[in-house]
Structures are given as structure tokens and as C-alpha cells.
Amino acid sequence: MIESVEEMTPGYKEALKLPLQVNADIELMSAPCLFEQAMNAPSLDARGAELSTIQDEVGHSYISLRLLQNLGEDIDEIIYGREPQEWRSAYAFEMFLDDFAEQTVFHAFLDEAGLTLLSDIYENTSYAPWKRALLKVEKEEQFHIRHGRTWFRRLARKNENTKRKLQDAVDWLFPMGLELFGFPDDLKTHTDQFEYRIKGMTNDELRQAWMDEVVPLCEEYDVDVPAHYDEEADEYVLEFEFPVAFDETEKQWYFDDPVTWDDVLERWREGGPAQEEFVGMIQSGDLYDGVSQYTA
């Protein structure tokens, strides 16, 4: 296990910085992404759980930022010195969430994706300080997922209207979750994170592990999801050609309009519709700047 910068080669150090930077940005972007619907939560208990989650996510970001600082990076420059398009957040975290059903699926799907990615790093990383820090992070992410699954069950069972809203949220957030794991293995060209044992599982393996959690959840509550387990292949199979075109205004995927991964990469580089506003909220230090209304 690597404990200090002095033990690292230049290649190892650079390979380690990238996932730390991505994690720091994603976790911090969670705060403005989740805040408005946290304030509109359907109960005080739910609001409390949401605000606790946001506090956790900011703390997770700080862990990665402190580790980056140990590698020679400046935390103030990372947070305040970059333009929105320079952030390494995931596109899914740069979308506005319009109601609590979307917030619920965000927790059940995207927090699950985060746990899948970080659990792999915890199990396989050769960087000891990150491994130790992730023990706390994993426990807190499990709480976020349980919270999401609890409300997933409630919305699926409450009435037709809440289930329809849940289904609408699943329809656009499931492909978002698939994209979080990156390019398919046959298109990956950089292997340094494997060579330096920063991570252990491939993108496709991680995607399969994630589907093994979220597809059964949807099936349990009779929520449609375009994937199923193929017993003969012993893996989850998508029921559409992936990736496909996405309309960010309508939050709609065009499953009959497959695109290339270069198209997806271009969309990622352009950033999500909320990217500029969310970064502004973070850099101003006032999440209320981006909240038009909330339950008092």
C-alpha cells in the first residue's frame, strides 16, 4: 500500500489525481442539485434526511479535496478558480430535479452508482489514505440509498399519480446511471488506473454490478425499466441500443435514435443545463441563490 507522496512515481500520482478530482466535483455538485427538492420534501423527517445527506456529500467532497491537497493541489483554486466547464462533475449531477420523485430515484439510482464505484476503489485501491477514508463514506452512502429506497417504495405504493411520477423519473435517470460508468470496455484506451491499482473493476463490470441492484428494485415494485437479467448469458441485458440521444429540455431519451460515444462525450463536455448555476451556488456559498421557492 502507498502511504505518502514520496512513495509515488509521477505516473501513479497523476493516475490518482483524476478519480479524486472527479469524486470531489461530483460530491460537491450534489449539494445544489439536491437542495431545492430537499426543502420541498413531503415531511419534516424527509427534509431532515435530505439535508443530512447534503451535509454528508459535502464532507465526502472535502475528503477528496484534502487528499488532492496532499498531492500538491490547492483547494481554493479547485473550488473558486475554475470556470463551470472546467469542473469534472458527471452530467447527471448537472441536471435540475423537478420534484421529490426525481430526488427519490436520484438517491436510489445515482447514490447506488456512487457506492458501486467507491466500493470498488475501497476493495482494490493501493492508496492507503483513500481506503481508510472510504470506510466512513461507504456507511453514509448506504444511508442515502436506504432513504431513497424507502421513498421509492412509498411512492410506488401510495397511488397512481405518485407511481406515474416515479416511473417518469426512472425513465430518464436509468440511462443516466448507465452513463456514469463511462465508456464500454472495448473503447477504453487508458489502463493506468488498473496498472497502478487505483481501481479493480472495469466499466462494464461496474455497470453490471449497478444493474444488479437497481433492476430488481424496479421489478419488485412493478416499475418498468429497459433491462432484464439473461440467465443464459448470466448478465443484465439492455433492451435498447446504448448509448442513445437525449433531449435535456424534455428529459427524454430517444431509444430509437442510437448515437456514438463521441456524441455522448461532446454532450458531457458541454455540461448539463444546471452546470453554470450549480457552480455559481457553490462558489457563492449560498445554496438559496438557486432556489426559487420552498416549503417554509
Paired strand residues for 247: 252
Say which residue, 189 or 134, is predicted with more confidence: 134
Flag whether pLDDT at 23 surpasses 90: yes
Measured CA to CA, the distance from residue 256 to residue 10 in angstroms comes to 45
Specify the pTM: 0.94
Statement: residue 56 has pLDDT above 90: yes
Task: Decide if pLDDT at 292 tops 70.
Answer: no
Instruction: Work out the mean pLDDT of the chain and round it to a whole number.
Output: 95
What residue ranges define each of the domains in the chain, with the CATH number in brackets?
5-290 (1.20.1260.10)
Q: DSSP strand E in 138-230: where? A: 227-230
From residue 258, alpha-carbon distances to 61, 227, 255 in Å are 34, 16, 7
Distance between CA atoms of 82 and 283, rounded to whole angstroms?
10
Angstrom CA distances, 66 to 13, 30, 61, 63, 73, stand at 15, 18, 9, 5, 9
Percent of the chain topping pLDDT 90: 95
Confidence of residue 296 (pLDDT cuts 50, 70, 90): very low
pLDDT value at residue 289: 59
Q: Is the pLDDT of residue 128 over 90?
A: yes
pLDDT of 294 over the 50 cut:
no
Here the cell at position 131 is: 481506503
